[in-house]
Structure 1
Amino acid sequence: MLAERARTLEARSGLPVAEAAYRNLVLAAGGGPDRLTAAADLAVRIAGYDDHPVVYPRRIELAAAADGWRVEREESADGPPALWDFGAVRPAPGTHSLVLASADGPDPAGLVVVGDRAVPAVEEVWGDAWPGRLLLELPATEEQFARLLEGDPAGWADMAAVTVAAPGAPRNTPADRVLVNPEAYGRLSGFGRQVVVTHEATHVATRADTRAWTPMWLSEGVADWTAYRDSGRSPQQIAPELARDVAAGRLPAELPADRDFAAGATGIAQAYEQSWLACELIARRNGPQRLVAFYRAVGADDGQGEDREHRTDRLMRAELGVGLADFTRLWLDEVAALKD
């Protein structure tokens, strides 16, 4: 019965499924002789995008029927819901991207175009060692977007998109999803939408080079730097909130901490802008490929339990010829120059 349900997932949900199967089934009494509950892992591989199935823990309610058992209800058992739990999905394929959109949500056609532009822009900087394809999920509402992230909608209201690692996939596989907030994304200009999606595509491309010890100012900074690269925008245009702070005499004392990037954090816009400026400084002083090399060195070096700041300092000296303290002083000069 569940095997047949897995086979019909594409027809029921609209997902372009290459493989679907329920695994690790555990049955339990469901409140009466004609009812059962089941815990199972639903493994789904999206055609053309997932090299490994994405695993969704599911809770299934079963009821006895004349010909056996039928599924009365299926929902997420652990973690966020799946996009198709909100209703049918409308797939919109492009040359380099696939948008999985809620059927009752915004038209995904424009997002496909933006995704197709983002992939080659990222490859110009980061090469083609990654799969060079982008999978985006577009729910119908901001509330659904927050639920896909297991977050409070108020905390995600200004976040246009976020990249998440697909559950159950082996590390360093191209199974990342870019979740798009239809309301925040919809408020952006065409240029802003391109920046957001190219930023997220950079996270997908650099997944294999990003570790828990990678400072967020670096990971978010390279994503923004890649997205704004060759845009022709001035630093004041790219970092308007930071420029306003500088004009008002409010200057940072150090590079952004990881906590500064938390959804809903005060000053989160400035944290992203400060990070962009730090990576722009590296690229301008040392060249784009040294920025890429430094980023990859940070991700490749585990430091054997070494303090993260010490590791960053050591690798910065090796790759860029400047220590973290001196780099921070150079960066603070760049921040101060935004008032000019």
Structure 2
Amino acid sequence: MTQHASPPRDGTGKAAPVDGPPAWRGVIARADVRTLSLLGVLAVLVIIGGITKPDEFLDTRNLQLVLTQASVIGVVTVGMTFVIISGGIDLSVGAIVALASVWATTVATQEYGFFGILFTAIVVGVGCGLVNGVLIAYGAMVPFIATLAMLASARGLALQITDGRTQIVTVDGILDLGERDSYVLGVPPLVLVFAAVTVIGWLVLNRTTFGRRTVAVGGNAEAARLAGIDVRRQRLYLYLLSGLCCGIAAFLLIVLSGSGQNTNGNLYELDAIAAAIIGGTLLSGGRGTIVGSVLGVLIFTTITNIFALNNLQSDVQQIAKGAIIVAAVLVQRRTASTT
């Protein structure tokens, strides 16, 4: 009969503490190393930009531009991070941003002014997220297929609404947000919104029951169900959250461009997934960080800016991004195999 060793006991008869750090400390240590690594990569990119184009890259206006451009895709990436942590995927985020942006900039919508545009963008985003969530959570559709169908449908509807034309925004309140006079201590309003979404996303993921349930569902959905978590409802909420982030991003894009186009959000799904991956989010679910995803966004945006300043073609940018994604996945697999 197999005997199990009893834990060592101290002089009072109580179990003595086991030497060595708890498991969660190891997880935190790995997360810290990953964050420091990403910060190091970002620092290297800043140095490269400063060396190759010191006057242009380090100019305050250019740095503000980098942060502003990162804000739109960054908000989308926050929502995508939650979805991927849960073990899902959302290929429709770019199309949802396009649909929300054109629906919110129609002549009829602009008659309701600033809040009419904001409300419409968010409602369209949440509505698309609701459709995705219902199909995946209660229709038992594979996330890849359901969101791919939404991608095609939303793009088609956006094209139908605009008839291929650019819809110009004439609401002063929207246009004023893009002016330098609206900056707060030199920080564009879009960056402040991005920062707020990031902080809220971090708090929700790390400090709420919703965040713990998201990780549990991504780690092992069946175990989460047996533990009393309504997995279907949790997945529905996650796609609603992704849709909400798309609606906010669509509004930011309207402010940034002063228009609505059916081509908005092109390849956003790939950029958001890539940023989440290099930030440490596992495609298989169960692990991820908001901070890592945001740093991933900043890295990609900085790369794009450096390439543009040095007049390098867009195909070279895509090759560089692809190489970074492959490297990040290989690092993830190596890390997973050693834990």
TM over 0.5: no
TM-score bin (small chain) = under 0.3
TM-score of the two chains, using structure 1 as the length reference: 0.24
| Greater share of strand | 1
